[in-house]
Amino acid sequence: MFRRRESVPFSFVAEADRFRSNVTPPPRERASLSEKAGRTLIGLVVVAGLAGSLLLGLPALSPEQSAGHSQQTEAAHGR
């Protein structure tokens, strides 16, 4: 029985190292000043949001409880 080394649709993949293109892609367009400013602004908003959520969330995560806000069950009162 005859077996092929490569399946027909993917035979070009095995030979991809042999063929090198001499066509260079066009250079990338440089970002304009407004695009750079927009990216910077988005980055600052994300960082400020993370910092703000951290500052607002830390007091809620602290394990300290004041004496006036401690909770006691009915069993603690001897009922």
pLDDT at 60: 84
Contact 40, 48 (CB under 8 A): no
- Find the helix or strand (DSSP H, E) in which 55 lies: helix 33-61
Query: Rounded to an integer, what is the distance from CA 64 to the centroid of its chain?
Result: 33
Distance, CA of 37 to CA of 28 (rounded, Å): 19
Residue 23 tokens read as: 């066509």
Q: What is the pLDDT of residues 6-18, one digit of tens each?
A: 555 655 555 555 6
pLDDT at 37: 97
Q: What is the pTM (predicted TM-score) of this model? A: 0.48
Task: Count the residues in the chain.
Answer: 79
Weakly modelled stretches of the chain, pLDDT under 50: none
